[in-house]
A and B are shown apart, each in its own frame.
Chain A
Amino acid sequence: MSIRVFIPKDAAALSVGAERVAKAVMAEAVIRNIQIELVRTGTRGACWLEPLAEIEIDGVRHGYGPVTPADVPGLFDAGFLKAGAHRLALGPVEELDWFKRQERLTFARCGIIDPLSLDDYTAQGGLTGLRIALRMEPQAIVDTVKHSGLRGRGGAGFPTGIKWNAVLNAPADQKYIVCNADEGDSGTFADRMLIEGDPFCLIEGMVIAGLAVGATKGFVYLRSEYPHAFATLAEAIEIAGKAGLLGPSVLGSGRRFELEVRLGAGAYICGEETSLVESLEGKRGQVRAKPPLPALKGLFGKPTVVNNVISLAAVPWILTHGGQAYADRGMGRSRGTLPVQLAGNVKRGGLVELGFGISLRALIEEFGGGTASGRPVRAVQVGGPLGAYLPDSLLDTPLDYEALAAVKGMLGHGGIVVFDDSVDMARQARFAMEFCAIESCGKCTPCRIGSTRGVEVIDRIVAGHDRATDMALLDDLLTLMTEASLCALGGLTPLPVQSALTHFPGDFDRPTRGEKPVLRAAE
């Protein structure tokens, strides 16, 4: 029997040379006349160990990483195919503290299986949830999801079961399931990782959602910045169609569910659900006023479930293990697990799936190992470009929707971006406004104009000519944008700006103290 070697083909792993490592391993095996079966997986999420090569021995996977092509002959010399000692040897991967402490529910298979093998998927528990759902009444499926306490993982945190219930009870000849895979927040990559590493899990979740609310057609709206994920998902949908998981009779049940993946076109705003729906319809991605909610009048005017990738991918586990098992994890009103993405200036970045409740500090220090630069942490942005910048004094805040809101922050899609002490927070505040100006859909004035005025007024404050007037003006502008914007882009851009002003006021008045403004982030 040939030896099984696992090397990811996830885009993040490829970005640091996984393809070259895979080629080098195969070439070296040929030279040494050794039979190897190379399995290309997704990533387990330990981006800091990529490219991570694993060798399966008696069902246990031993890791080596991060591997460069130049390391490969040495690894063969060291007998890595028999888990031989080497400076890159990590031992059994799942015994590493980084993995052992996680609760991998949604990402249980990610990085372990061949993402496009339906056999691998079912061997690891895939399709169990769907088979259970096929024997249930729609209302019972919705109730299970409600009972699990699952809240939308895209950022808004709205209870998924309640959204599904609204669509179930909306009478219509056609309903839709739309998956929001327009993961535009900086510091987040959970959607990409799941789609590249376990696409059938998303497909299964969408089929279950369709059964639950009576929708027969689904769309995945995937951002164009993710060409690898698009290729994997398109292939997975084709495989699922041929296997009867999608189509006129899901697993022979006589129930229909069709699925298409559609590419976005580089607009951040299309991650907002009504803008996404407009874009899917073939229009400019401009935000719609709510009501009507998409649950009642969504895609092509029909009742539509719009859910994030991670919300939908959590559903197969919930159906398999029951709503209560999911609700048993987490804290407060944040039930279940959250795939946290540790990003930016952090030594051990990647995806960590855990029950809600761990503190930011524990994540950054214990999982992340501190900053990549080795300098002290100064600010942490949680929840993407619309999330607050938190100082060291707030890092004991637990990961929980309500706890973060209580410190005037937000959890968002679970991205955590770490900055060291070289960061200039006035510059970060300015960028928040600039980003809003670049990405505003233009429909409402507070966002379209307010963001540009925001950049200008922050520039004047930093220059320090008439600080008191400009600070009052900025304060007014932040209130206006918060209260009067049509959607979360204009409405939440004040969050990072306000947090920078509150927690790092010194960065805004360097010139008045006779200091030069720092003009760049860490190098």
Chain B
Amino acid sequence: MTARQTQRSPFEIDAAREIVAGLRHLDGAMLPILHALQQRFGSIDPAAIPLVAEALNVSRAEVHGVVSFYHDFRTQPAGRHVLKLCRAEACQSMGCEALVEHLAAEHGISMGETTPDGRLTVEAVYCLGNCALSPAAMMDGDLIGRVDRDVIDALVQETKGVLS
């Protein structure tokens, strides 16, 4: 696997308006719109909230409520790479908690944090559906099975090799 940077562009209100207009016709358009905005801009910019509210004829509070309810939606962009480490039971049975400790002890990265240089965000995830090949992780959308300390070291190293 090779680490690839998350593609995103800075928030532009016109581009956001276009995304909203293109999806508002869907039944239950809220989640598809929020996913599309986040995919394009890396997070849900506060300035996008009124646009979504107006298009779907709901209050801004309701849109904010949806954004804050779901673990996926961010209001701040993540690092250039995102490593999700599974901490659910199947991965626990194969020592995922030792990997969490290893990331903190060897690389100084705690779960839920982004490195100060904005290179890497590490997050906990509860099940990636790869439970027969635990412990599992996902790096920028690529699934990785049988993760051990060496795999973690290599993944962290790779993010250092990519220029921002």
Enumerate chain A interface residues (CB-CB to B < 8 A): 11-12, 14-16, 47-48, 50, 183-189, 191-192, 224-228, 260, 262-268, 279-286, 300, 341-346, 349-351, 372, 381, 385, 415, 417-420, 423, 428, 431, 435, 438-439, 441, 520-523
> Quick one: which of A186, A226, A227, A520 contacts B131, CB cutoff 8 A?
A186
Knowing A225-B128, A282-B28 are in contact, say whether A520-B98 is a contact too (CB < 8 A): yes
Whether A423 lies near B93 (C-beta < 8 A) is yes
Report the Cα distance A439→B70, complex, angstroms: 10
Of all A-B residue pairs in the complex, the 7 with the closest CB atoms, nearest first, are: A282-B30, A349-B132, A186-B88, A343-B131, A265-B70, A266-B71, A15-B145
Q: Does B34 contact A (CB under 8 A)?
A: yes
Identify which of B29, B93, B133 gathers the most chain A CB atoms within 10 Å of its CB: B93
Whether B94 lies near A344 (C-beta < 8 A) is yes
Whether A282 lies near B56 (C-beta < 8 A) is yes
Report the Cα distance A350→B127, complex, angstroms: 15
Enumerate chain B interface residues (CB-CB to A < 8 A): 26-32, 34-35, 56, 62, 65-66, 69-73, 86, 88-98, 125-134, 136, 138, 141-146
Q: Which residue of B lies closest to A441 (CB)?
A: B69
> Quick one: which of B35, B89, B95, B143 contacts A15, CB cutoff 8 A?
B143
Whether B94 lies near A48 (C-beta < 8 A) is no
Kindly provide the distance from the CB of B158 to the nearest chain A CB, expressed in whole angstroms: 15
Beyond the given A191-B129, A520-B97, please list 6 additional residue pairs across the A-B interface where CB-CB is below 8 A: A186-B89, A225-B138, A226-B129, A260-B26, A300-B27, A343-B132
Residues of B within 8 A of A342 (CB): 132
Kindly provide the distance from the CB of A432 to the nearest chain B CB, expressed in whole angstroms: 9
Whether A341 lies near B132 (C-beta < 8 A) is yes
Whether B89 lies near A417 (C-beta < 8 A) is yes
Knowing A184-B127, A265-B31 are in contact, say whether A48-B93 is a contact too (CB < 8 A): no
Kindly provide the distance from the CB of B120 to the nearest chain A CB, expressed in whole angstroms: 19
Knowing A265-B70, A266-B72, A283-B66 are in contact, say whether A349-B144 is a contact too (CB < 8 A): no
Knowing A184-B126, A265-B72 are in contact, say whether A47-B132 is a contact too (CB < 8 A): yes
Mind listing 14 A-B residue pairs with CB under 8 Å? A15-B133, A186-B127, A187-B89, A225-B138, A262-B32, A282-B56, A343-B134, A344-B89, A344-B90, A417-B93, A428-B89, A438-B126, A521-B96, A522-B94
Residues of A within 8 A of B91 (CB): 186
Residues of A within 8 A of B56 (CB): 282
In the complex, how many residue pairs between chain A and chain B have their CB atoms under 8 Å apart? 169
Residues of A within 8 A of B143 (CB): 11-12, 14-15, 228
Whether A349 lies near B131 (C-beta < 8 A) is yes
Kindly provide the distance from the CB of B20 to the nearest chain A CB, expressed in whole angstroms: 13
> Quick one: which of A14, A345, A415 contacts B94, CB cutoff 8 A?
A345
Q: Which residue of B lies closest to A384 (CB)?
A: B89
Knowing A187-B89, A372-B94 are in contact, say whether A262-B31 is a contact too (CB < 8 A): yes
Knowing A522-B94, A522-B95 are in contact, say whether A225-B71 is a contact too (CB < 8 A): no
Whether B132 lies near A48 (C-beta < 8 A) is yes
Report the Cα distance A523→B65, complex, angstroms: 39
Whether A224 lies near B72 (C-beta < 8 A) is yes
> Quick one: which of A265, A286, A415 contacts B34, CB cutoff 8 A?
A265
Kindly provide the distance from the CB of A212 to the nearest chain B CB, expressed in whole angstroms: 22
Report the Cα distance A281→B31, complex, angstroms: 9
Q: Which residue of A lies closest to B32 (CB)?
A: A262
Whether B132 lies near A267 (C-beta < 8 A) is no
Whether A186 lies near B126 (C-beta < 8 A) is yes
Whether B145 lies near A267 (C-beta < 8 A) is no
> Quick one: which of A189, A264, A385, A523 contacts B129, CB cutoff 8 A?
A189
Residues of B within 8 A of A15 (CB): 130, 133, 136, 143-146
Report the Cα distance A225→B65, complex, angstroms: 21
Residues of B within 8 A of A341 (CB): 131-132
Knowing A16-B145, A262-B32, A423-B93 are in contact, say whether A439-B134 is a contact too (CB < 8 A): no
> Quick one: which of A11, A268, A441 contacts B126, CB cutoff 8 A?
A268
Report the Cα distance A224→B96, complex, angstroms: 21
Q: Which residue of B lies closest to A282 (CB)?
A: B30
Report the Cα distance A15→B86, complex, angstroms: 13
Report the Cα distance A187→B127, complex, angstroms: 8
Report the Cα distance A184→B70, complex, angstroms: 14
Residues of A within 8 A of B35 (CB): 224, 263, 265
Knowing A16-B145, A225-B125, A268-B126 are in contact, say whether A417-B131 is a contact too (CB < 8 A): yes
Kindly provide the distance from the CB of B29 to the nearest chain A CB, expressed in whole angstroms: 6
Whether B29 lies near A282 (C-beta < 8 A) is yes
Whether A439 lies near B126 (C-beta < 8 A) is yes
Report the Cα distance A218→B126, complex, angstroms: 27
Q: Which residue of A lies closest to B52 (CB)?
A: A282
Kindly provide the distance from the CB of A225 to the nearest chain B CB, expressed in whole angstroms: 5
> Quick one: which of A225, A228, A523 contacts B98, CB cutoff 8 A?
A523
Whether B70 lies near A11 (C-beta < 8 A) is no
Kindly provide the distance from the CB of B7 to the nearest chain A CB, expressed in whole angstroms: 14
Kindly provide the distance from the CB of A82 to the nearest chain B CB, expressed in whole angstroms: 30
Q: Which residue of B lies closest to A221 (CB)?
A: B31
Residues of A within 8 A of B141 (CB): 227
Kindly provide the distance from the CB of B108 to the nearest chain A CB, expressed in whole angstroms: 20
Report the Cα distance A141→B38, complex, angstroms: 42
Report the Cα distance A279→B28, complex, angstroms: 8
Residues of A within 8 A of B94 (CB): 344-345, 372, 522
